[in-house]
Structures are given as C-alpha cells and as structure tokens.
Structure 1
C-alpha cells in the first residue's frame, strides 16, 4: 500500500503526467485524443463493473524512480534541515570550481596557526610569524578565549558579515591574505586532507582543486623577459615563452612541483588513514589539480604562470589544466582581460598542434560582475558585455565559473546557443553569488542556462570562507531555484562528464544521459564485475570509469529512497 499511496500523490501533484503509476478515481477512465493521454469522467456504474484500475510500472523503471524521489524532494522543499538530511547521501560526482586555499575550514586554520606558534594581529586580524609584537598576540590564546576565536572566524570568513557589495568583495578577498601565513608549504598536506575529508563526507567521488602550484615564482621571473611596452603579438609571445622555459628556475620549479604533488597526495591519504582499518571518507575521493594564475598581477606575470602551467600539465598527470583566480573587478583584471584571453588563444593553438600529448584543459571564471563593482564609466561598464564571450571564444574555456552577468552580454541569446553547441559548462556557485553579488532566486541565471540547454553544475567556490559545503548548494538549488530531482541528477552526471579526467565518455551522446556506449550496454549500471568488453573500455578511460561508478552509486541511492 505504501507504493500505491506514493503513486496516487504523484498523480495529484501532476508529476505522473503519463498516468503511469496512477490509481485512477472510481469514476475516471483513460482516453487518448490526438496521441495525448488524459482522464475523462464516466458513469460510476460503468467503473464499478471494471473496478479500480491500476497501471503499476516496475520500480526498476528509471523515470518512475525519479518521479517518486522528486515527489519526496518537493515535500521537503520548505524544510532546509530535512533537505540537507535528504541530500547528504546523494552521490554528487565531481567537485569543480574549488579553490584549495579558500576551501579549508576556518576552525582548522585557527588550530593550525595556534599549533605552529603564529600570532594574530588584533589590528588587521592577519596571521603573522612570531615574535608577537605590538597588537599581535599568540594565536594559541584563541583556543581558550571564545570571543577571540569567534572574532577570527568572522574576519577570516563571511560569517555574519554585513556591508555593501563592494565591502563584501573586499572582506572576502582580504580573508585569503589574512590567513595566508597559516597555509605554509608544510600545511599543504593538511589542507588537502581536510578538503578531501569534507568532500568524502558530502559524497563527492572526485575533486579538481584550483591552486597556484608555485607558479608565482615563474610569474615573477617572467618580468625579466616581458617588458610592459612589449608588443602583445603572437610572434613576441612565442619568443617570450621560449625564453621563460629556458630559464633554469622554470625547469627547477616544474620538477620540484611535479615531485611534491605526489608527496602531497600521498601524505594527505596517510593523514586520512587510507591504509588503516578505519579510513576517513575522504579516502574514496580522487583528486587532480588546475594551475591558477593570479589575475591581479600584470599580463606578463599571468602569461609566465600559464606557460608554466602548460608545462606542468605535460609532466604531471595530477595537473589537468589551467585557470584564473582573484577578483574579476580588480583593476589589472579589467585592464589586461583581453590581452590574457589572447595569450590563452596563442598557447591553446600551439598545444593543439602537439597531437602526441594530452590536451591542457581550460576553466575560467567569468561574468562574476555587477555594475556596482566596475568603474562607473563607459569603459568600466563595458566589461559587463563581453567577459563570458571572450572567455569562451578567445580563451577557449571549456568551463565557465559563475557566469552571472550573462544577460548583460552583447547578443546573449546567440552566446547561450554557442555555449550549448560547444558544450561549455557553467559552474554555478549559488551561495557565493548570493553573498558577493546579491544574485539569488530569479535574479540568478541558473534557470536561464538550464532552459537554454547549457550544461550546469553546482560548485562551492571558496567553501571555507563562505562557511558551506556542496550539500548546502543542493539545498539552495531547491529552496531558492526550485529545481527538481531530475535536474539535480543531470547536474551530478554533468560534473563528471565535464570534468577534465582523461578518456572517452561513458555516454554515446554528450549531454544526453540515456544510452551508455555499446561496450557496456548489456551490463547493470555500475556493476563491479562487468563484461569483458565493458571492463576493457573502462580501463582505457578514467573519466568513463568514474561515470560508471557514479551510475552505480545513483542507482543505490534511488533504490534506498524509493524503499523508505
């Protein structure tokens, strides 16, 4: 009877639109007109002879399961706590658009600062090396003094922040500088372990982390070769690239970082107890990196970082691509935006000519702007009209972070069509966009992207500073964007489909999660002991293997929810 009650509610709520799984009222029959199915009233005595009619689909039917889960989800839509409990076990695929430094929990940062003997300056709330002088006191005091601890949390995060959009942006980016001294190289392993643990507890199976990866050293060295008044042409840039790569510091930094990345990941897994009998949930999470350039520096600095990032991705299998970090409204970001997109075009086309190597993938934050954040001049406001387009067309971005001001772009309808046709994914950071840009509910373009068929995933951005995790973003997607289960499930699948893991996709058609490749078509989704043809295919594609694992996890989650 439990399943009968559920299917009845599906019909009442209008979810069972095909009338499959609906118990029809005693004076109702199913009729078809022009190929459409509808319910019609009939004499009661006729139905009494026919009794109650039930069309009961199998629980194995994917669409039926999704409808049942959507029904349950909508029944919880006004209860964020129950929504969080519902979403916590949902397999969430890949974590994209995650800044490593900004994703560490604030409490961890304070504890590490105290353990490492750092000071906290009570004037600007910046962590400093000892000795503690003037306004600085030992951070160890924060472990015992609750008021001090709470104040540091507020200064190093967006918790309880109140102020204008400009002040929110300033506070947000200042936080990274305030705790920078805590995230010394010796704490990279701890940071990675913390992030993986949180990801595992929130049922991610894979994360791609944005980090500078020592690129600042090469960025500074690039100033030897790139002068501010150099022509910004392809010929000059390719020549400067060769000079930067020939510098002894360049090769030394690439080799050092390549070796250390392996040590960082191994060290994090040791901290998580991955080889013990009681491993942390983070042990089940794979990790790769994107090297992010600092857009607040000049164009030569950024170009040097990207040259380094391309070479690092060639030498380290843990580095899959490049990106950008920093406030998009920064004066250098605005001044050099198109120069940097042009530089990416030059490097991208050069890499395309090298067919022997894996491609270097590109993910760019763009469209994280509102009128209040850019200069109130014709030139300043013009930046609202082209950043996303130029990231896609000039910078060859396969993924765009934020994309909030898409409606302000010139010919945004054509841009959305182009993004859909190219399969450019939008990394939607709902909490970040609400807190920093005031974009929430209808003012956020998430549903616009979905309606235009542009692939979208949910992302946390700087989860530690924002005091959130990915489960919170799923809750917000329901409470503020009114998404249903099928849309969220598509996003989860898209997160792995558009990850930068190497190899072919599990799906026959990109973005259409209906038919898996022929090699696995006869195997149960996510089966650990599949056919020989499926096993061979999965062994040859890390991305497809992750997708296959996700399908099994989704099937198990749905079965559990349906049986509740």
Structure 2
C-alpha cells in the first residue's frame, strides 16, 4: 500500500513539475522538431520544392518591406478596373484607351470586329488574355520564342500598360493585397504606394543640368513650392487618399503602412519637388512612414543625376531628420552601365542621403571599398531588401552570383521581399522558397528573417512590439502544427 502511495506521489510530483515548466520549454521541443524537418527539406542535391512551398506558405513571414503597390496588383484585377472605369484595351497594342468616343464606337460593333476590347472580353478569350499577360507581366517570358524586349525593358515596360487604371480603385486594391497577405500568413506590408505630388521649374532644371544645384538653390525652390497653392493642394489630396483608401485595412491580423516616391528619371525639378512632397507627407501622417525613389536605375538620366539626387535627399533629411529613407540603390549589374557607374550608389545612399534601408543593393561587390561599406551597414544595422525574383529577371543575377551571399557572410542584415509580385506573378512565400532552395539556410535563419522584417520596418515602436508579440504566438502555433504532422508521419 505504501509503495502504491509513493508511486502516486511520484507521478503527481512529475505532473506538477511539467505544469510548472515555462511555456517556452514545450515550444522549444516543437522548434527542434521543425529545425530537423526543415533541414531535411533543403539538404541533398535536390531541395524538396513542393514541401518547401507548403512549409513557407504556412510559416508566419512578418512583413514585406520592398513592395510596390501598382506592381503588386495582378493584371486580371486591372482588367476588371478597365471595365469599372469605362475604358477598353487595344487588342493589338494592349494599351488602355480612355477615349469615350473610341469606347462607345467599339462597343457598338460585333465582338469579332472590335479593335478595342473590354476587360471581360479579354478575360473570356484565352488567346488574347495570354498575349496581354505577356505584355502586362513577366508571364511566359522564358516559355516561348517570339521576338522580345530584353528582360529589364520587359519588366519596366509593363507599368506603361496598366498605369491608366492603377490608381483608380485603391481601396479595393489594398483590400485585395491584405486578403492575399493574410492567406500566406503575412502580417505587415510597407507599400511604395503612389507617386508623390510633382511640380516643374525650368530655371531650376537649366541650372541643375548646366552645373548642378547648391543647398541655397534647393532652399529657394522649396520656398517656392511652399507658396504653390496647387502643389500644396495635391499634397492634401494625397493625404486624404491614403486615409480614405487605407480605411479598414489595419486590424488585429494585419497592418499596412505607406511610402510616397519620386521617379528618378524625370527632370531635376520634378524629382526634387516629389522629394519635398514626400518628406512633407511622411511628417504629416503616421500612416506614411518613409520616403523612396524608384525607376530604372541604369537609364541615362537616373545615372547622370544620381549624385545630385543624393544631395537633394541630404538637404531634406537635415530639414526632416525623423523621416526614414528606404532607397533603391545599386540595382545594377556588370555590363548594364560603364564600370565606374557601379562603384558608389550604395555608399552614397548611406553616407550622403542617410538611408535607413537599401533596396536591392546588387552592385555591392563592385563598389569602392565594399568591405568598409558592409561593415558600416552591419554596425549601423542598415538592412538590404533582397528581391530574388526580380533580381534574377531584371539583372540576370541569381544563385552564387547574388550578393545576398556576401551580406550573409559579412553580417549585413537583410530581409526578403517581393518587389512587384503582380508583374513577377509570385508571392513572398515563393521568395522564401527560392532563398531556401538556393542557399540552404537553417530554420533559425529563415525564422530570423521573418522577425527582422518587422524589426527593420519603419513602424512606430508600439506597432513593432505588437506585431513581434503576434509573431511569437503565430510561430508557436506553426511549430506545433509541423511537429504534430511529423509525429503522425513517424508512426
């Protein structure tokens, strides 16, 4: 009898000890199971791509920090907006025609005789839709033998096709992106949203192109813009657009923030005016958390004016020190531009403009003193937004040639992001699959990438802590599910 009592006491004591253990102790055992399972997926000559796809679709992924709103919307949704706006699409050029007379005339014709089709007409015609997707996205680029533009031109030219409707139904577009993000377990998007309000000044342009501009010139043009009522009205309209379109997007499961941007291939006054409005916007609303500059970096004007653009950012950063910059810099590869053009873009974005994050950062191996730059990025915790799909397509850089291998080796923080998921027809889970399959990281590394995408966001600290805490819970659930599936598989 005493032996039985002692035995019962021992069982009770063991149960009490187990219940008293911190919750993390049980979660850690699940994490260990997931670590071993993930290692089995990436090891060997052939990574298990189907299983990796399921794994990363299920895995919480934190945030997408390099995300272009217009490039994230899929062409099929843009075709729906073509009809909402009463436009049509020329079935030969695939350009959107907004002319009311053309639309009315074409709709009066039998379908077979129409040169300009509605979005629904295209969606229901598999051949025409396939041809349109080859223009409005990267789809089938490597899957047919027609005469094509170079990949970089194909990518950047897509925006010219859907731009006429890109800003027409923003509330619906943001809702779609939110639903898609939640479906793949993504908590946050920091989207490069709409082009910033713009103005032009010929005298400023003439001086800039003749010999450059001084801080005094920038100050004078800034003051002129301050007195421009139309320009100030556009800034107010932009703020209202973000507030109205973004209403209802944030909730317990998802958060979105916005970046206005300048187009780097425009005239100097246009670029600077966009920067001015971007900084003002970012300092006027908590929903607008940073400033960016976009556009193909390798074209003539972008290269010619790059140093001047960084000077402009420096000037405005002094006036608005709290505004964060996430600058596209170094989206270049050998042969795209003369060699000297590869030597300074990342450095100047950091040292001159004061960037807090670098978008792409592809030319780091060619920059002057790359080890020094990477040490500075590591010490200052300036991360790189790595976009594997677009880097592969636009620049032809992938695998061992991709500088993410350097950033990993030298301790530079980085995050994975989509760039333009609608153009590339991918998602963030797919970017994680590419990263895992190509570079065989540990589970700890990919989990850290998820958390870092929140840590390096431009969110307010309270929002960061809220999302990080949410990630803790999501990873506990995810790891428990994977561990349970492995336990069943082992039986």
TM range (shorter): 0.7 to 0.9
Q: How does 1:224-239 map onto structure 2 within 5 Å? A: 226-230=204-208, 231-239=212-220
User: 2: CA distance between counterparts of 1:439 and 1:62?
Assistant: 38
Task: Identify, as 1 or 2, the structure richer in helix.
Answer: 2
- Kindly indicate whether the alpha-carbon contact (under 8 Å) linking 2:259 and 2:289 is maintained by their aligned counterparts in 1: yes
- Kindly indicate whether the alpha-carbon contact (under 8 Å) linking 2:257 and 2:287 is maintained by their aligned counterparts in 1: yes
1:487 alignment partner, SS class? helix
User: 1: CA distance between counterparts of 2:305 and 2:26?
Assistant: 53
Q: Which of 303, 309, 326 is the matching residue for 2:278? A: 309
Q: How does 1:65-464 map onto structure 2 within 5 Å? A: 65-77=30-42, 78-130=47-99, 131-132=102-103, 135-162=115-142, 167-185=150-168, 187-213=169-195, 215=196, 218-219=197-198, 221-223=199-201, 226-230=204-208, 231-266=212-247, 284-352=253-321, 359-374=322-337, 380-464=338-422
Greater relative contact order: 1 or 2 (C-alpha under 8 angstroms, separation 6 or more)? 2
- Measure how far apart 1:543 and its partner are: 1.8
- Kindly indicate whether the alpha-carbon contact (under 8 Å) linking 2:152 and 2:393 is maintained by their aligned counterparts in 1: no
1:315 alignment partner, SS class? coil
- Kindly indicate whether the alpha-carbon contact (under 8 Å) linking 1:66 and 1:486 is maintained by their aligned counterparts in 2: no
CA separation of 1:544 and 1:267: change in aligned 2, threshold 3 A: closer
2:233 alignment partner, SS class? helix
> Is 1:60 the counterpart of 2:40 in the alignment?
no
Counterpart residue number, 1:277:
none
Unaligned ranges ≥5, structure 2: 1-21, 107-113, 486-491
- Measure how far apart 1:244 and its partner are: 0.9
User: 2: CA distance between counterparts of 1:435 and 1:257?
Assistant: 32
- Kindly indicate whether the alpha-carbon contact (under 8 Å) linking 1:114 and 1:140 is maintained by their aligned counterparts in 2: yes
Counterpart residue number, 1:546:
467
- Deviates most, 338-347 or 132-141: 132-141
CA separation of 1:424 and 1:249: change in aligned 2, threshold 3 A: same
User: 2: CA distance between counterparts of 1:398 and 1:61?
Assistant: 37
CA separation of 1:289 and 1:184: change in aligned 2, threshold 3 A: closer
- Kindly indicate whether the alpha-carbon contact (under 8 Å) linking 2:357 and 2:382 is maintained by their aligned counterparts in 1: yes
- Kindly indicate whether the alpha-carbon contact (under 8 Å) linking 2:35 and 2:443 is maintained by their aligned counterparts in 1: yes
Aligned length: 443
- Kindly indicate whether the alpha-carbon contact (under 8 Å) linking 2:82 and 2:118 is maintained by their aligned counterparts in 1: no
- Measure how far apart 1:101 and its partner are: 0.2
- Measure how far apart 1:329 and its partner are: 0.6
2:293 alignment partner, SS class? strand
User: 2: CA distance between counterparts of 1:104 and 1:334?
Assistant: 29
- Measure how far apart 1:88 and its partner are: 1.1
2:246 alignment partner, SS class? helix
1:128-182 deviation line (CA, Å, top 9, x unaligned): 2142469433333212211111111121110111499971111111111111122
1:461 alignment partner, SS class? coil
Counterpart residue number, 1:278:
none
1:328 alignment partner, SS class? coil
1:180-208 deviation line (CA, Å, top 9, x unaligned): 122243x1112111211111111111111
User: 2: CA distance between counterparts of 1:288 and 1:225?
Assistant: 36
Q: Which of 443, 448, 451 is the matching residue for 1:490? A: 448
1:439-460 deviation line (CA, Å, top 9, x unaligned): 1110111122012111111000
Under a length normalisation based on structure 2, what TM-score does the superposition of the two structures give?
0.85
- Measure how far apart 1:65 and its partner are: 4.4
- Measure how far apart 1:362 and its partner are: 0.2
Unaligned ranges ≥5, structure 1: 1-56, 275-282, 353-358, 375-379, 504-540
Cα RMSD, aligned residues only = 2.3
User: 1: CA distance between counterparts of 2:235 and 2:261?
Assistant: 15
- Kindly indicate whether the alpha-carbon contact (under 8 Å) linking 1:102 and 1:176 is maintained by their aligned counterparts in 2: yes
Under a length normalisation based on structure 1, what TM-score does the superposition of the two structures give?
0.75
User: 1: CA distance between counterparts of 2:23 and 2:205?
Assistant: 69
1:381-438 deviation line (CA, Å, top 9, x unaligned): 2111111111111111111111112111111111110110111110100111111112
User: 2: CA distance between counterparts of 1:232 and 1:458?
Assistant: 36
CA separation of 1:547 and 1:426: change in aligned 2, threshold 3 A: same
- Kindly indicate whether the alpha-carbon contact (under 8 Å) linking 1:114 and 1:143 is maintained by their aligned counterparts in 2: no
User: 2: CA distance between counterparts of 1:166 and 1:143?
Assistant: 25
